[in-house]
Amino acid sequence: MAPNPSCTLMPFSELQLQLDERAAQGLLRQRRTVSGPQAPQLVLDGKPYLSFCSNDYLGLASHPQLVEALQLGAERYGVGAGAAHLVSGHFEAHEQLENELAAFVNKPAALLFSTGYMANLGAVQALTGRDDTVFADKLNHASLNDAMLLSRATVKRYPHCDMEQLAAMLMETKRGRKLICTDAVFSMDGDRAPLPELLGLCEKYDAWLLVDDAHGFGVSGAQGRGSLSFAGVQSPRIIYMATLGKAAGVSGAFVAAEQAVIDTLVNNARSYVYTTATPPALSVALLESLRLIAGGDELRCHLQSLIAQLRAALTGLPWPLMESDTAIQPLLIGENQAALALSMALRERGIWVAAIRPPTVPAGTARLRITLSAAHTASDVDRLTEALYELAQEF
Ligand SMILES: *Cc1c(COP(=O)(O)O)cnc(C)c1O
């Protein structure tokens, strides 16, 4: 039968209409193509920029020792894992990395996932179900929000870092397992969750705490051991998750927790069971990354000095920097189009900073998400500062 043109075309013209609407609101997302490695000096669509928008906080994404480790890994294991971890895709390098990660974050066991998104989906889905309740900070990462839906648990979201509201919600929840989910460092705000208070509530109300440390691992805490070390908290109740594509500079993620939790994930986390293992060569690179992180005090020191430099320099702008002591330093603009225009004007000056708009952040809080990296220099920060002051005159 010949396809009916009105049937095949209509759905797509509707999609186009929706895309056009998005564009009119300044919300259309578009990709740019990078040539060469991730670095502050970034070539995007063929043009050089000074970039302040990667999560490569320690500048490890193109580190020569990691490149070499990846090459050695490929020589030893080839390119693909060829199967899921539970079939024939779990290699020595994965096993060794899991053991070292667990020890590094002071947990009995750890489990590798292919991405942080999948780790969150898997952990929440495997640990909670219909009779349980998941409590979540309203500013948590999208992957935790999606994870809660997938788990089919009852979802209770509390206002950002509002421990009183959370306590009230915990108190009124009588049955089932209780799991609190939080970003340790909030990805679009740069501020930190009150981990000691959260753990206190877990103890009082017999709940578990899933801490997503995508932006703390490698950067925060002694030797970059992450936000638990930074906050000085540790407990079997804490299920720790961190990503390996940000400060660690490679790819993937892990969950670290009590052995029974990890064994449950191995058996029940669908995003672990039903997916091909990450290439073992990546684990070889990550083992090297872990060494660079542990020995990376100088990198972290330099990053801290850049953060202090930026915060001191930007106090005179019409737009406030949000409260943050991490590498994520968002400049709060407000309106979508204004954030976009500012980001475009920086671009014309050869500086790349991402404008973050709803639905990634709440309406009316569009921002420039400035992220710093140990690979930046003090004069890179000066260049951004000067450009922002110039633009403040014009806007
Ligand atoms: C980036 C990020 C993730 C997802 O990690 P990927 O490895 O990129 O999939 C999860 N949680 C938070 C808070 C993140 O910032």
- Tell me the per-residue pLDDT of 1-32, one tens digit each, with 9 for 90 and over: 555 555 556 678 999 999 999 988 878 888 99
- Tell me the per-residue pLDDT of 282-317, one tens digit each, with 9 for 90 and over: 999 999 999 999 999 999 999 999 999 999 999 999
Which atom number of ligand 1 is nearest to the Cα of residue 140? 13
Best mutation site among 187, 210, 239, 282 for ligand 1, i.e. most ligand atoms within 8 A of its Cβ?
A: 187
* Domain 64-294 class in CATH: alpha beta
CA 60 to ligand 1 center in whole angstroms: 17
Residue indicated by tokens 């029974």? 260
List the structure tokens of 28: 């259309």
Average pLDDT for 42-57: 96
Neighbours of 53 (CB within 10 A): 19
3-state secondary structure (DSSP) of residue 291: helix
Positions marked active-site:
187, 215, 246
Amino acid letter for position 32: R
- What pTM does this model have? 0.95
Cβ(217) – ligand 1 distance below 6 Å: no
Amino acid letter for position 163: M
d(CA 276, CA 112): 12
Contact 127, 239 (CB under 8 A): yes
d(CA 322, CA 169): 28
Pick the CATH number of 28-58+297-394 from 3.30.450.20, 3.90.1150.10, 1.10.260.40, 3.40.50.1820: 3.90.1150.10
Cβ(272) – ligand 1 distance below 6 Å: no
Q: How many residues does the chain have?
A: 395
Cβ(187) – ligand 1 distance below 6 Å: yes
Q: Where are the domains of the chain?
A: 28-58+297-394, 64-294
Best mutation site among 53, 121, 141, 213 for ligand 1, i.e. most ligand atoms within 8 A of its Cβ?
A: 141
Residue % of the chain over a pLDDT of 70: 97
- The full DSSP string for 75-94 is HHH-S---SBIIIII--HHH
Cβ(73) – ligand 1 distance below 6 Å: no
**pLDDT the model gives residue 25:** 83
d(CA 163, CA 196): 11
Residue with more model confidence, 136 or 28: 136
**pLDDT the model gives residue 90:** 98
d(CA 313, CA 309): 6
